[in-house]
Structure formats: C-alpha cells, structure tokens
Amino acid sequence: MKLSFKTILLPLAGVFILASCEKVIDIDPRYISSEIMIEGEITDDSIAPTSVKISQSLGLNDSRSFPEVSGAIVVISDESGVSDTLKESKPGLYTSNHIVGRLGATYKLNVIVDNKTYTATSTMPNTKVPLDTITLTNGFSGSKLVTPIFVDPVGLGNFYRLKLQINDKFSEGLFLFDDKVVDGGVNQRPMFDQSTSFEAGDKIRVKMMCINEDVYQYFYTLDEQSQSGSPANPPCNIQGAKLGYFSAHTVSEKEIQITE
C-alpha cells in the first residue's frame, strides 16, 4: 500500500499540460570520504545460509564501479559459541554454509578490515511465515501487479521484505510489508513496481524474508529516500560502521510463469 502521492502527481501534471520536460543537470556535490559498506545476512536457507558483502561508498560524481573490499576477516557466531569464519568466494563477497540460521536465535557478526573491527548482532524472528503463492492482478492502465499471498499471524510485530525477479533480472524496487494496518489474515497488498512490466512466458519469482524491526526500519528509510522531502540515511545496526546492516531472517520463495 505504499504508494507515494508524488509518483502519481508527476504523470497527472503532465497529463493536463502537454508533457513535462526532463533534462540532466550538473550538481556540484561536496567532498565526502569513502565509507565501508557491509551487507550481512544469515538465513534459514540450508544451501546458502550466510553471506557478507563488503564494498566502499563513492562520491556522487565518481564514475568508477563500487570498490569491493577484499582480505577482510569475517566471522559469524551464535549464542552457543559456535563460530564460523566466512571465505571470500568472490572479491568482496564472503560466504559459508557451516552455520544455518534458526528461528529466534541471535547471531553475532564480526568483521575486521584494515585493523578496524565492526560488530553487529541480529535476532531471527520467532515464527517463519511462508509465502503460499503469488498472483497477478490488474494494475494501472492495463499493467499487472504481483500480489504475494501469505498468512500474517495474529499479533503485531511481523515484518516482511520481498524481492521480485523477472526471468533473470531483479527489480530494483524495495517491497516492504508490516502488520500495522492489517494484523493477521491473508495479505492482499500488491507489490507496486513502476519499473517492471510482464509479457507472456515471463517467469516471475518472489523471495519473501521475515525480518526483524531494525532491518525493516533500515529498508523502509532506504525506500523513503526517493519520495521524502527530507531523505535520510538508514539507521545502521553495525557498530563502528556508518553504512550497512546485519540481518538474521527466514526465506521462502515461489515462482510462476505467465501463460496468456
């Protein structure tokens, strides 16, 4: 249900007076030093349960690709003292399948880069809500919307993040649901995404993650950036870092193929 007023305002404004016009302009951003960006995840997926990506931020007008950070020491441990040192499987990407996330358990992330230590903890939600199916409904002017069908358990405090993949391409949209508006019951909220369209034969894949409130707030703020009059940086739950998050969450996936 998150649909900003602005996203419909612009097309409407264009509607009644010819078309609005766009042009690329120069902005002179202030200098900013590079920051470490950590994306840490531990899931209940037994095949690829852990992954930690480390990269660096760039100045706005920098046209390099984001530098990966290699040679970091990355350790994920659980409450029982089991710890797992992740291996760098690709530059900047650290993975392992030794520790698999369990419901309600708290995990600790420890990253050392250039003698600097970054730490974070995250607790996996107590209940795993599975994605039952996905359906297609009619959206704006002939477009289609994907609606994830799942049953939200009664009781406040469930947060969901979904990812949409069409064939091999991931949508850039952030799809976030909580149970503040509808607590309990079958989800009927579609995934609004203006950048995607579907054709017959397309494979649509949705990955649903049950995340905790911190991580929800992180992605929510990230999503607000494009719509808010005063965009802000998302709250980082990693000590020592300014950017990034560490999330323990469940995963559940479904795929459909468009027939007509």
Partner 1 sequence: MYKIIKILLVMVLINPVLAQSPKFTISGTVKDKKNGETMIGSIVSIKENADIAVETNEYGFYSLSVDSGSCTLVVQNEGYEKIEHPIMLQKNVTYDVAMEEENLTELENVVMTEEKDDHNVKDAQVGSMKLDVKEISKIPVFLGEKDIIKTLQLTPGVKSGGDGSAGMYVRGGAGDQNLILLDEAPVYNASHLLGFFSTFNSDALKDVTIYKGGMPAQYGGRLSSVLDIKMKEGNNQKYNVSGGLGMISSRLNVEGPIKKDKGSFLIAGRRSYADLFLKLSPTFKDTKLFFYDLNLKANYQINSKNRVYLSGYFGQDKLGISTFGINWGNATGTLRWNSIINSKLFSNTSFILSNYNYKISINNSTGDIDIKSKIRDYNFKQEFSYSPINKHFVRFGVNAIHHTLTPGQITSSNASQVFVQLQERYSWENAAYVSDEWKTSGRLRVNYGLRLVNFSAMGGGNFYTYDNKGKAIDARYYSGDKVVKNYLNLEPRLSASYTLSSTNSFKVGYARNVQNLHLISNSVSTSPTDLWISSSKNVKPEISDQVSIGYFQNFKNNEYEFSAETYYKDMQNQIDYRDGANTTANDKIEGELLFGKGRAYGLEVMLKKKSGRFNGWIGYTLSRTEKQIDGINNNEWYAARQDRTHDISVVGIFDLSKKWSISGAWVYYTGNAVTFPTGKYTVDGTTRYLYTERNGYRMPAYHRLDIGATWYRKKTEKFESSWNFSLYNAYGRQNAYTISFRQNEDNPNVTEAVQTALFRFIPSITYNFKF
11-40: contacts with partner 1 (CB under 8 A): 11-17, 20-27, 29-30, 32, 35, 37, 39
Which is closer to partner 1, CB of 36 or CB of 78? 36
Which is closer to partner 1, CB of 19 or CB of 81? 19
Interacting positions 113-172 with partner 1 (CB under 8 A): 137-141, 145, 147, 163, 170, 172
Which is closer to partner 1, CB of 78 or CB of 205? 205
- Burial of 29-45, coded b for 16+ CB within 10 Å and e otherwise, reads eeeeeeebbbbbbbbbb
Minimum distance from residue 147 beta carbon to partner 1 (Å): 8
Minimum distance from residue 83 beta carbon to partner 1 (Å): 26
Minimum distance from residue 89 beta carbon to partner 1 (Å): 16
- What contacts 187, CB < 8 A, 6 or more positions away? 147, 148, 149, 150, 151, 152, 177
Interacting positions 165-204 with partner 1 (CB under 8 A): 170, 172, 180-183, 185-186, 188, 190
Which is closer to partner 1, CB of 22 or CB of 80? 22
The answer to whether the Cα torsion of 234, 186, 250, 45 is positive or negative is negative
Minimum distance from residue 125 beta carbon to partner 1 (Å): 19
Among 133, 226, 239, 257, binds partner 1 (CB under 8 A): 226
Q: By CB under 8 A, is residue 260 in contact with partner 1?
A: no
Q: For residue 145, what are its two tokens?
A: 């919307």
Minimum distance from residue 85 beta carbon to partner 1 (Å): 24
Which is closer to partner 1, CB of 20 or CB of 85? 20
Q: Which of 246, 241, 236 is nearest to 211 (CA)?
A: 246
- What contacts 88, CB < 8 A, 6 or more positions away? 70, 71, 72, 94
The dihedrals phi and psi of 73, each to the nearest 5 degrees, come to: -100, 115
Interacting positions 46-75 with partner 1 (CB under 8 A): 55-66
Among 75, 221, 253, 256, binds partner 1 (CB under 8 A): 221
Q: Are 107 and 78 in contact (CB under 8 A)?
A: yes
- Burial of 209-228, coded b for 16+ CB within 10 Å and e otherwise, reads bbbbebbbbbbbebbbeeee
**DSSP code of residue 239:** B
Maximum alpha-carbon separation in the chain: 65
Among 227, 239, 255, 257, binds partner 1 (CB under 8 A): 227
CA distance 137 to 190: 8
Q: For residue 151, what are its two tokens?
A: 């049953």
Minimum distance from residue 232 beta carbon to partner 1 (Å): 3
